[in-house]
Amino acid sequence: MKGSFCRLIKKIVPVLCFVLFHSTSFSQRFTDLVNPYIGTAGHAHVFLGANVPFGAVQLGPDNVFRGWDWCSGYNYTDSIIKGFSHTHLSGTGMPDLGDVLIMPFTGIIKTGKVTPEDPTAGCSSRFSHKKEKVRPGYYAVTLDDYNINVQLTATERVGFHQYKFPAGSTARILIDLKEGIGDKATETYLEKVDDSTLYGYRYSKGWAPDQRLYFAIRLSKAMQQFDIYNNDKQQAGRSAKGDGVKGFISFDKAPAVVFLKVGISPVSAENAMANIKAEIPHWQFDKVVKDADAKWNQELGKIVIHTKDATAKRIFYTAMYHTMIDPAAFNDVNGEYRGPDKNVHKGSFQNYTILSLWDTYRALNPLYTITQPNRVNDMVNTMLHIYQQQGKLPIWHLAGNETNLMPGMSGVQIVAEAYLKGYRGFDTALAFEAVKNTSLRDEFGLNYVKSLEYIPHNKVQESVAKAMEYCISDGSIALMAKHMGRNEDAALFAKRALYYRHYFDSTTKFFRGKNEQGEWNKTFGPGRTSHPWIDDYCEGNAWQYTWLVPQDVEGLIQLLGGDEAFIRRLDTFFRIKIEFDPQSPPDISGMIGQYAHGNEPGHHTTYLYTYAGDPGKTAEKVRYILKEQYLDSTDGISGNEDCGQMSAWYIFSSLGFYPVFPASGAYVLGSPLFDKATLQLPGGKKFTVETVGNSEKNIYIQSVSLNGKPWPKTYIFHKDIMNGGTLRVVMGNKPNAKFGKPAVNRPKSMY
């Protein structure tokens, strides 16, 4: 009997091990692979804290604001926390938000202002990363000065706080409506509704010139005492209004645990309370943590990669995580939101804010057309309603405000791309009206586009940058109009898409600014000379803007002298070093020669070799950037993360393809990083990229097959991906001179 039992165990154990192993890999917790600290130091400006995918609430710690590298409110190099606020930006080059700062503390009430010169004033506390824990949807830290354990989690519109105070202490909680991240409170209001409820709002002026945020706070314990101040002056009564209202909740003897639920709303405090009741009707903190983790796990699992490189896996899933922090929800559970016209609207779609479109139209929004099909229609509907309320598509929208930051009308590309990729969950006639009318406006140099076909540099700053972006928009509209059968419009915008040629100086072979008389800008310098960063270009120089013609790469190749001359010019671009210009913006980073990966205008440039028949050099550059400029460290992103664009570049490039001109629907092949990657698509479909012979040395594509059939092209279409199937890529340690060489197999700009 004993021998039979042992033989049975020997048979069962291998089977059990097989089942357990495969069950674990199938039910992988992708959240375990995310390192939220990546990009929290240096210039990346990444948000750190608790949130859910695309949530309105981004609840996390704020350090004392010390300048540009604290745009997100937090920098890993800091050691002081002034509180935990509910709205943040992730990866931007401008600071704002930081609304409704809450800070638990012990001892006497402190009303002093925390400053870089006096960071321990007020209620701030030192902290250590050793006592800090963060994962998607969850943040925890111990405040060393008070020995308070803080844990945070969130739903879409509600931040959930858990505080554990030291026993026997006088426990207090600060609600600070004056503090923000680089903005200024203009009017704040706080009201005690009952012993466990507070209502209020914070109006502020910063990057968003007229921001209005309403909130409601529900406590798990009735307040023993509530004191209210405006700046440092105590106010009588249950409410106060001013430009710096602060509330202090006090307990003579600290409860073992205090929970706070903080709902936010762009409309009203009543709506904020309704958000609390709808999203967290209980006090089960751990349940909300688990639910947040599940939401992240579901979204992260939309792309499953297989690689032996554990570091690359962490970088990839952290990049996925970064692509879903923004855009952020900007409405209430009842559908209400506040538009740029400052009126309250109600929509049947999910409204969004934090639209960093100059950055994200290049790779992030194209990624959403694959991974977020349900949200793409909502994003387009958001933009179309903004068009109706402010008269143009958004440029850089923040908290119901048009900031007009960055050159171009980048919302045009995103709407056109969605339409051309088959999205129809919006009014297509309105969509075309919006892209056309936005591009035919008279602001930001567009009037000169109509009258001169170019923008005079002495009339409009960043004239070349604006014009190049307008040409990309016009190329996108031309494709959309052609698809709709609007031939007259298609011809007009196809013509305008080529206006970039007016800026090409054949003597220097650079794009340059010129005045109304057609005279070149005399302060021109392709690298350091004079002030090329601010005269004609935006966050770049003449070298970098040479390549910003994704809508007509073939025409650019001819301007530069044909395939061989084009390739030589690219080689020079990636090799040439110019003396550092102290006047250049600090986010000009990630340099390879004159290529700046830390900034978006160049993100497609590595893939341009392929248009000239040399995909091997594309592979070399892409692999180098993937390996050298994305690291599993706090300073692991070169340049601002820019609301997910830097990470979207990594995701596409590591999968092996990239959308050089998004509206075309084509993705240019590069150098897949992983052994296998599977995209989970709607309707249960899957698209898999399998590599054969992939390694650190085998970076060059030798041959490709799609669904078992030879695929000689160096690009694939969006429809090829969304139909599902397998792209099999054979890799080698030397370029295949025949692959991608014939013109018929190269990508084109317009299809």
pLDDT tens by residue, 417-460: 999 999 999 999 999 999 999 999 999 999 999 999 999 999 99
Confidence of residue 151 (pLDDT cuts 50, 70, 90): very high
Is the pLDDT at 181 greater than 70, yes or no?
yes
Say whether both 294 and 328 belong to one domain: no
pLDDT number for residue 7: 42
pLDDT number for residue 49: 98
- DSSP for 514-554? B-TT-PBPTT--SSSSSSHHHHT-SSS-HHHHTT--GGGHH
Say whether both 453 and 346 belong to one domain: yes
Confidence of residue 527 (pLDDT cuts 50, 70, 90): low
Say whether both 259 and 373 belong to one domain: no
Structure tokens at 360: 């994200």
- State residue 679 phi and psi, 5-degree precision: -95, 125
Say whether both 375 and 351 belong to one domain: yes
pLDDT number for residue 588: 74
Structure tokens at 679: 């995209």
Residue whose tokens read 């009952």: 194
Domain that holds residue 356: 303-745
Rama region for 147: left / alpha / beta (φ>0; ψ in -120 to 50; rest): left
In a domain? residue 560: yes
Name which residue leads in pLDDT, 740 or 26.
740
Is the pLDDT at 642 greater than 60, yes or no?
yes
Say whether both 148 and 271 belong to one domain: yes
Say whether both 236 and 366 belong to one domain: no
Confidence of residue 121 (pLDDT cuts 50, 70, 90): confident
Confidence of residue 534 (pLDDT cuts 50, 70, 90): low
115-129, 200-214, 359-373, 553-567: segment of lowest average pLDDT? 115-129
Say whether both 189 and 315 belong to one domain: no
Is the pLDDT at 490 greater than 80, yes or no?
yes
Kindly give the residue spans of alpha helices, DSSP state H, lying in 507-597. Answer: 532-535, 542-545, 553-559, 563-575
Distance CA 40, CA 306 (A): 27
The CATH number that applies at residue 697 is 3.30.2080.10
pLDDT tens by residue, 54-99: 999 999 999 999 999 999 999 999 999 999 999 999 999 999 999 9
Say whether both 269 and 316 belong to one domain: no
In a domain? residue 146: yes
Residue closest to 36 by CA, chosen among 52, 47, 21: 47
pLDDT tens by residue, 215-234: 999 999 999 999 999 999 99
Helix 487-496 and helix 463-484, axial crossing angle in degrees, nearest 10? 160
Distance CA 61, CA 50 (A): 10
In a domain? residue 5: no
In a domain? residue 420: yes
The CATH number that applies at residue 236 is 2.70.98.10
CA 421 from chain center: how many Å? Answer: 21
Is the pLDDT at 599 greater than 70, yes or no?
yes
Would you say 80 and 148 are in contact if contact means Cβ atoms under 8 Å apart? no
Show Cβ contacts of residue 48 under 8 Å, excluding neighbours closer than 6 positions.
36, 37, 40, 60, 61, 72, 74, 76, 134, 139
- Looking at the DSSP assignment, which residues form a beta bridge with residue 510? 505
pLDDT tens by residue, 644-679: 999 999 999 999 999 999 999 999 999 999 999 999
Three-state SS string over 231-265 comes to: CCEEECCCEEEECCEEEEEEECCCCCCEEEEEEEE
Asked which of 298, 319, 351 is the last residue of a domain, the reply is 298
pLDDT number for residue 119: 79
Would you say 690 and 674 are in contact if contact means Cβ atoms under 8 Å apart? no
pLDDT number for residue 627: 97
In a domain? residue 6: no
Asked which of 245, 265, 298 is the last residue of a domain, the reply is 298
Would you say 670 and 618 are in contact if contact means Cβ atoms under 8 Å apart? yes
In a domain? residue 23: no
- DSSP for 395-425? SEEETTEE---SSS-THHHHHHHHHHTT--S
Percentage of the residues of the chain whose pLDDT score is greater than 90: 90
pLDDT tens by residue, 262-318: 999 999 999 999 999 999 999 999 999 999 999 999 999 999 999 999 999 999 999
Structure tokens at 466: 């604006």
Rounded to an integer, the average pLDDT of 239-251 is: 97
In a domain? residue 4: no
In a domain? residue 316: yes
The count of domains in the chain is 2
Say whether both 279 and 339 belong to one domain: no
DSSP summary character for residue 442: S
pLDDT number for residue 531: 47
pLDDT number for residue 27: 60
| Average pLDDT, rounded, for the chain | 94
Name which residue leads in pLDDT, 25 or 721.
721
Rounded to an integer, the average pLDDT of 343-366 is: 98
Is the pLDDT at 117 greater than 70, yes or no?
yes
Is the pLDDT at 12 greater than 90, yes or no?
no
Say whether both 252 and 319 belong to one domain: no
Name which residue leads in pLDDT, 580 or 153.
153
- Residue 87, helix vs strand vs coil: coil
Rama region for 592: left / alpha / beta (φ>0; ψ in -120 to 50; rest): beta
Say whether both 426 and 506 belong to one domain: yes
Asked which of 240, 264, 298 is the last residue of a domain, the reply is 298
Structure tokens at 53: 């995918």
Say whether both 267 and 341 belong to one domain: no
